[in-house]
Structure 1
């Protein structure tokens, strides 16, 4: 059971690859029903004076993908930025930059998931209130997938949806590097890594892209 929060000294000694392996090991514990567990009261008291998370995860809002749980992370371990469709915008980029440049996180993980509702809606060209603008961020992935997958380019085509989920993660990673010189420089210098994965609703496993 985890009862000691990450300190600045511990965070500083971490490497991007080491953090990624830690998250994947946590995911394996989740899959195998062997969660580490945490003394939340102890962690709460230790983190009142500051936080030193090891990573920031950009994920979808989907209720079936509780990020800390599926990666078996405790209070103070990771930042989580959530938006339907797990894409970047100016506010998300600012949050990622804060996580890494200011607060010292070593990893940016863009985490998509199987059968994403936002991706399906984008595939079907849904237009509804502010959702229309939200889905416009996913359309580049839809268009890319239409050139890569045979069959209908809508949510009835499971292969098309799956490819769009993957492409959305990959394009989001590309745009993070393009739109954030801060994060790109940090990655180029080996201070952080920007990686992507897709969570399976059927197995609970995170598959890295």
Structure 2
């Protein structure tokens, strides 16, 4: 009996050492280039979809980051409760900067935060992520007016106009049409970030960061990354 107990205790100790080593390794082998960071997000989303998540030791990560942080990506996503970036990309504490606002719109505060995350803290990837069946997109398409929300939805109107121009039969009750607007809005937001932020624009021109758009499908959990150059030839759904 004593021998069995000793073997059991030894097994637990070995497993604990392996888990600690795995978590430590995940921290020390963080992606170093924009392309590696993009691949890390893609792999994280694949784990999320498959259910084979990394098994984060949050207590370890809290201790590891208590004196500083080094997130590798900045995510601008929608406020929607079904689209939590850390979860859908299977990332832990200290790995992502996340800004969330209805309709994943940009403003000066968001731009300043992105500049902090990249130029100051060293993140090499910026992602603007929209999603399917977005309530803010639908509100913009239906020209909803509601307090301060009106100003948020106004920022989506350029995408609405773009899609309606290319689709005379646009239907505000059709989620396919609304999802086209969501994609167009993502790419227009990417372009607005480049246009308005000289810091982001210069870092990208120097290949120090990458700025990309993405769409999250709330029905499947899949994130599809769009071209990192704004679409000027239309808004065809390609995800």
Deviates more, 1:144-153 or 1:70-79: 144-153
Contact 1:146/1:160, CA 8 A, preserved across alignment: no
More helix by share: 2
Aligned to 2:210: 193
Aligned to 1:168: 185
Superposed displacement of residue 162, structure 1 = 1.1
Aligned to 1:113: 131
- 1:99 aligned counterpart, secondary structure: helix
Superposed displacement of residue 81, structure 1 = 0.5
1:3-152 map, 5 Å: 3-4=23-24, 6=27, 14-152=32-170
User: Which one has the largest radius of gyration?
Assistant: 2
Q: TM-score, normalised to structure 1's length?
A: 0.94
Aligned to 2:14: none
Looking at structure 1, the residues matched to 158 and 182 of structure 2 have their Cα atoms a distance apart, in angstroms, of 11
Looking at structure 1, the residues matched to 47 and 98 of structure 2 have their Cα atoms a distance apart, in angstroms, of 20
- 2:75 aligned counterpart, secondary structure: strand
Q: TM-score, normalised to structure 2's length?
A: 0.82
Looking at structure 2, the residues matched to 78 and 51 of structure 1 have their Cα atoms a distance apart, in angstroms, of 10
Superposed displacement of residue 190, structure 1 = 0.4
Contact 1:112/1:165, CA 8 A, preserved across alignment: yes
| Runs of 5+ consecutive residues of structure 2 not aligned to the other structure | 1-18, 227-239
Contact 1:6/1:52, CA 8 A, preserved across alignment: no
Superposed displacement of residue 6, structure 1 = 4.2
Q: CA RMSD in A?
A: 1.4
Looking at structure 2, the residues matched to 39 and 3 of structure 1 have their Cα atoms a distance apart, in angstroms, of 7
- 2:204 aligned counterpart, secondary structure: helix
| Runs of 5+ consecutive residues of structure 1 not aligned to the other structure | none
Aligned to 1:184: 201
Higher relative contact order (CA 8 A, sep 6+): 1
After TM superposition, the runs of 4+ consecutive aligned structure 1 residues lying more than 2 A away are 1-7
